[in-house]
Amino acid sequence: MSEKNDKMTADKLRSRWWFDNPEHPGTTALCIERYMNYGITLEELTSGKPIIGIAQSGSDLTPCNRHHIELVKRVKDGIREAGGVPFEFPMHPIHENVRRPTAALDRNLAYLGLVEILHGYPLDGVVLTTGCDKTTPACLMAAVTVNIPAIVLSGGPMLNGWRGSERVGSGTIIWELRKRLAAGDINYDEFLSRTANSAPSIGHCNTMGTASTMNSMAEALGMSLPGSAMIPAPYKERAAVAYETGQRSVAMVWEDLRPSDILTRAAFENAIVVCSALGGSSNAPVHINAIARHSGVELSNDDWQRLGHEIPLLANIIPAGAYLSEEFYRAGGVPAILYELLKAERLNGETLTVNGRSIAANVEHSETCDPEVIRRYDNPLVKHAGFLNLKGNLFESALMKTSVISREFRQRFLSDPDSPDAFEGKVVVFDGSEDYHARIDDSALGIDAHTILVMRGAGPVGHPGGAEVVNMQPPEALIRAGVESLPCLGDGRQSGTSGSPSILNASPEAAIGGGLALLETGDCLRVDLKNGEVRLLIDDTELEARRQRLKAAGGYQYPAHQTPWQEIQRSLIEPLDRGMTLDMATKYRDVARRSPPR
């Protein structure tokens, strides 16, 4: 039951401007006659029913979200049942694995498109269909920018993948299989067939990659119905929650419950805490900082470390843990995580959610039903599981996901008794992923078990949109010798399904004058996790001399634009630590109220 009183009346609905506007009879006529063409009645359009948009993210190009095509039928049933009129419309497609050069180009493009649709069409509220990684942030960024009542419906993760009795996590297994292929343990055919087995049903990735993380973040922020984020896509509960989401979207219009009521600073701070407890994707800080900036909340990577680093890992799910989404959902899903964190007084329980209730009220009885899969706060998998925000003489901010630092990595790099949280190593530098693939197996590079691999030219300007390439696999010869991973540092991102403890998202990036552009193969780096520092061990005069030489050579060179949007985005995009938003866009807020239709 809602705790908010109804605030909206039929005559104030924004859709009335289009559908029932005696001052603009011409506009009204044009809108009515065309929408009636496909069977909507005059009564539906003119009797003061809320018009609810359904932002459809599914298509043949976007398999992770494609089942929304079926699912929205139940959303429409719910909308009609609650007295609204559904209008489904397509979003710009976003598919993480297939889009080249990167789906990061699509997040901001889909955001822009959705803002225009929500602002320019007769919509009183919207259901946002999410799934694959960047569909969630694109939707939330647009919803809070326009600020009409909005509710997220996740499509849910796919079922568990299996190989015999072994769980196989989508995305994560591919990183592993690539190593097996490189080591000669499997051939190409086996590589393909095992990859195919890892994705057994409709739905988004079943690991705690970026998709599961961002849909869980939407729920933790209060933007989807409690317990809905991680219902596996094929389960019957998924269709039921689609119906409830549709119903709820209409009530939200009458209550005038808007994204800006929900997406407050306290909600974002909660999201940071929840992300740590989930062992969430290293893309989450980028997307959450972006949604926050569009909400008028300045959130930085310092906030992520301050609020998140000490939070324990509670979700035992791949890549940081052992299970997959089906077990996570059965153990209680996001509500069980929220419950543990609230009990430990790590969350603000007062934040509002789309059902009109507080987060604390929603999860009152949501204790974990499987403490092996969702751990109790005092029995975590990792004690401090959040991100570290590293700084130094090469960049202002770079993230490290501490929940995935393996025992092997600790023994090899963090075992000096005098300085257990620090290590030093010589770097081998690559300029973009093509350079990496071309040279990684070149024995002349002298890569050994203590080398630090550096990837630059992979930020939002260097590789238009920012590439998920920083988690670099060691040379084949080293893998065959048993060295499965090396520390990596870069100005790009890495896939959320990767379990690599890389130092990522170094901002500013090489392409806009960041310090990684000054690194040379053979340089020595010191990484000090305790003091949050990465330092290039050369003196300041040499560093300055390199800076001057680079400047004289015209700066760091990156590939030419391939499309108009790549050029536009490169000219406007902000660094990864600021959410990779478009520079001018974040000043537009509450667009629907500030700029009513005319």
207 vs 355, beta carbon nearer Mg ion: 207
136 vs 210 by CB, closer to Mg ion: 210
By CB under 6 A, tell whether 133 contacts ligand FES: yes
| Nearest in space to 502 (alpha carbons), one of 469, 526, 471, 475 | 471
Task: Name the amino acid, one letter, at 30.
Answer: L
Q: Beta-strand (E) ranges in 36-141?
A: 51-56, 85-90, 125-130
Helix H or strand E encompassing 399 = strand 397-401
Considering only 209, 227, 508, 514, the residue that binds ligand FES (CB under 6 A) is 209
Q: How far apart are CA 296 and CA 263, in angstroms?
A: 9
- Shortest separation between residue 497's beta carbon and ligand FES, angstroms: 7
Q: Which does 205 bind (CB under 5 to 8 A by kind): Mg ion, ligand FES, none?
A: ligand FES
* Region of 203-211, 258-266, 526-534, 564-572 interacting with ligand FES (CB under 6 A): 203-211
Q: Return the residues of window 164-183 that contact ligand FES according to CB under 6 A.
A: 171
Binding mask 108-147 for Mg ion (x = CB under 5 A): -------------------------x--------------
Nearer to ligand FES, 64 or 576 (CB): 64
Contacted by 495, from ligand FES, Mg ion, none: CB < 5 to 8 Å by type: Mg ion
CB 449 within 8 A of CB 412: yes
CB of 209 to ligand FES, least distance (A): 6
Phi, psi of 428 (to 5 degrees): -120, 125
Question: Do 394 and 516 contact (CB within 8 A), yes or no?
Answer: yes
Residues 82-121 that bind ligand FES (CB under 6 A): 96-97
Cα–Cα distance between 389 and 391 in angstroms, integer? 7
Angle at which helix 265-278 crosses helix 284-294, to 10 degrees, equals: 170
What's the number of CA atoms in the CB half-sphere (13 Å) around residue 72? 24
For the bound state, the minimum distance from the C-beta of residue 63 to ligand FES, rounded and expressed in Å, comes to: 7
Which of 28-33's residues contact partners 24+ apart within 8 Å by CB, and which partners? 31/122
Question: Is residue 211 a contact residue for ligand FES (CB under 6 A)?
Answer: yes
Min CB(131)–ligand FES separation in Å? 6
Q: Is 258 in the site for ligand FES (CB under 6 A)?
A: no
Instruction: From 263, 257, 267, 262, select the one nearest 296 (Cα to Cα).
Output: 263
**How far is the C-alpha of 231 from the C-alpha of 292, rounded, in Å?**
26
Q: Which of 495, 498, 505, 586 binds Mg ion (CB under 5 A)?
A: 495
Alpha carbon dihedral 249, 363, 336, 342, in 10-degree steps, equals: 120
Whether the Cβ atoms of residue 311 and residue 386 lie closer than 8 Å to each other = yes
Q: Assess 261 for contact with ligand FES (CB under 6 A).
A: no
Of 205-213, 343-351, 402-410, 579-587, the window that binds ligand FES (rule: CB under 6 A) is 205-213
CB 210, min distance to Mg ion, A: 5
Supply the DSSP string of 457-506, one letter for each residue: S-STTTTTT--B--SPPPPHHHHHTT-----EEESSB--TT-----EEEE
Member of 64, 105, 220, 527 binding ligand FES (CB under 6 A):
64
Residue from 64, 94, 96, 172 binding Mg ion (CB under 5 A): 96
Which region, judged by CB under 6 A, interacts with ligand FES, from 202-210, 345-353, 505-513, 588-596? 202-210
Residue (53 or 58) nearer to ligand FES, CB: 58
Rounded to a whole number of angstroms, the minimum distance from the CB of residue 109 to ligand FES is 17
Tokens of 46: 């003119």
CB of 428 to ligand FES, least distance (A): 29
Minimum Å gap between C-beta 515 and ligand FES is 32
If one asks whether residue 327 binds Mg ion (CB under 5 A), the answer comes out as: no
Q: Do 341 and 277 meet the contact criterion of CB atoms below 8 Å apart? A: yes
User: Which of Mg ion, ligand FES, none is residue 171 near (CB under 5 to 8 Å by kind)?
Assistant: ligand FES
Pairing type for strands 161-163 and 150-154 reads unpaired
Residues lying near ligand FES in the complex (CB under 6 A) are found at: 64, 96-97, 132-133, 171, 204-205, 209, 211
Residues lying near Mg ion in the complex (CB under 5 A) are found at: 96, 133, 210, 495
